[in-house]
Amino acid sequence: SQWGEENLQALSIQEGEDVTMNCSYKTYTTVVHWYRQDSGRGPALIILIRSNEREKRSGRLRATLDTSSQSSSLSITAAQCEDTAVYFCATEGSSNTNKVVFGTGTRLQVLP
């Protein structure tokens, strides 16, 4: 099946816990996007990490990128109920193709 065709993965954690979501991609990418999608809305970018970066932080969010293993991760520290959403990674092969392809996604539920 195509990347992104599978069912969303599901994670449920308690408020205050840390959580890490992983993304393995199949083809070369120059950048990994991480998006968050709230119910009934379009995705919105939360972190973008480029191939020359190993780690990127934004508030309680931390993204990593390992180009040798073609994988990226998104970590949320001290998760809060408002972090409940679906999280996607997306990749693009090069600036010449302009194609941005999304991964399967993780449905994260943070319980009070």
Partner 1 sequence: EAAVTQSPRSKVAVTGGKVTLSCHQTNNHDYMYWYRQDTGHGLRLIHYSYVADSTEKGDIPDGYKASRPSQENFSLILELASLSQTAVYFCASRPGGLWTLYFGAGTRLSVL
The amino acid at residue 60 is R
Q: How far apart are CA 47 and CA 4, in angstroms?
A: 19
Instruction: Identify the residue among 7, 39, 52, 69 touching partner 1 (CB under 8 A).
Output: 7
CA dist 100 and 102 (Å) reads 7
With the C-alpha atoms ordered 89, 38, 76, 44, is the resulting torsion angle positive or negative?
Answer: positive
Q: Which two tokens stand for residue 70?
A: 């073609």
**52 makes contact with partner 1 (CB under 8 A):** no
Q: Does 11 bind partner 1 (CB under 8 A)?
A: no
Interface residue with partner 1, options 11, 13, 48, 61 (CB under 8 A): 48
* Site residues (CB under 8 A) for partner 1, limited to 15-34: 30-31, 33
Q: Tell whether the torsion through CA atoms of 93, 101, 41 and 111 is positive or negative.
A: negative
Asked if residue 91 binds partner 1 (CB under 8 A), the reply is no
Residues in contact with partner 1, counted by CB under 8 A, come to a total of 31
| Chain residues in the site for partner 1 (CB under 8 A) | 2, 4-8, 30-31, 33, 35, 40-45, 48, 50, 88, 90, 92, 95-96, 98-105
